[in-house]
Amino acid sequence: MSRKPFVRKQYWNEPEMGLWERAYLPEILRGLLITGGVFLRNMGKWITGRKGALTTYYPEETRWDYAAGNRGKHVLTRRPDGSPQCIACNMCATVCPAKVIEIEAGFDPADAAHPKYPVKFEIDYSRCVFCGLCVEACPEDAIRMAKEVPHLPSGDRWAMWLGREELLAWQPQSDVAKPYPPAPAGRRAPGESA
């Protein structure tokens, strides 16, 4: 069996370099001028305090133009009486690819419709990947994501855990915790009269 001789494959977009490009150094210098120019212009604007630098100086400065669908900080929605909508079913914690959601469930036999509720609801933003799967998984529409990002720069990783109270109380300017749609007709809670 004869071996096929090696033939270099020809691509449709083979780079073509002229003599100038192959000389190497002039092109390197041109590239350095571009990046250097951007750097110096940015630097100059920052030093003189003028707006318009390309870099956002996080955390002193945050962007205002997040897209409407940006997945930022989590918001726990509430029932009309102010209690969290969450039933501590752990679907979000189970689906979370980074395993950053931890829920401690409580039992309240007095509330027949919602006997299981979250005593603690902790999210570790140092590991959260902002994928939004928790929002997808939630059967109760109890967790949503606002477009604003959490403002958590800190030197302490434990400060990047946010608990139930922070997630419930935090209301961004565009309120994602809209009122929950009313229950479909024909379903009533136990104990409720017809």
Partner 1 sequence: MPRLTIDGREIEAAAGQTVMEAAKDAGIFIPYFCWHPQLSVPGNCRICVVGVEDKGGEWVDIACNMPVSEGMVVYTNSEKVKARRKATLQFITLNHPVDCGICDKAGECTLQDYHYEYNGERSVSVDAKNHETKHYDLSDRIVLDNERCIQCTRCVRFTREITGSAGLAMGNRADHSLVRPSEDGAFGRDAYSDNVIDICPVGALLSKAFLHKARVWYLKPTASVCPGCARGCSVNLWHRKAEWRLRAPGMRAAHESIDRVTPLENPAVNGPWICNKGRDLARVFDRARAEVAMLKGRPTDLEGALANARALLAAAKRPVAVVSSWGSNEELAAFRDALGARFDAYVKADHEPQPGEVLEDSLLIRADKNPNTAGARALFGERPLAIPREADLVLVWGEGFDFGLVPAGAKTILLNAWLAPENGHADVFFPVSAQTERSGTYTNFAGVTSAFSACFPKAAGVADAQALFPLLARADGGGE
Round to the nearest angstrom and report the end-to-end CA distance of the chain: 86
Q: Which stretch binds partner 1 (CB under 8 A): 8-16, 38-46, 61-69, 113-121?
A: 113-121
Least distance to partner 1 from the beta carbon of 150, Å?
Answer: 16
For residue 143, count CB atoms less than 10 angstroms from its CB and return exposed for 0-12, middle for 13-18, buried for 19 or more: buried
Sole binder of partner 1 in the list 105, 131, 149, 176 (CB under 8 A): 105
Least distance to partner 1 from the beta carbon of 72, Å?
Answer: 21
139 to 158: interface string for partner 1, x by CB under 8 A: xx-----------------x
Least distance to partner 1 from the beta carbon of 177, Å?
Answer: 20
Query: Residue 5, by phi and psi: left (phi above 0), alpha (psi -120 to 50) or beta?
Result: beta
Sole binder of partner 1 in the list 107, 129, 153, 172 (CB under 8 A): 107
Nearest-angstrom CA–CA distance, 43 and 47? 6
Site for partner 1 in 41-100 (CB under 8 A): 87-91, 94, 99
Nearest-angstrom CA–CA distance, 106 and 43? 54
Does 161 interact with partner 1 (rule: CB under 8 A)? yes
Sole binder of partner 1 in the list 31, 106, 153, 179 (CB under 8 A): 106
Nearest-angstrom CA–CA distance, 64 and 60? 13
| Contact by Cβ (8 Å): 77, 177 | yes
Measure the CA angle with vertex 154, ends 152 and 156; round to 5°: 120
Nearest-angstrom CA–CA distance, 119 and 189? 23
* Number of residues engaging partner 1 in binding (CB under 8 A): 28
Does 104 interact with partner 1 (rule: CB under 8 A)? yes
**Residues of this chain that bind partner 1 (CB under 8 A):** 87-91, 94, 99, 102, 104-107, 109, 112, 115-116, 120, 122, 124, 139-140, 158, 161, 163, 186, 188, 190-191
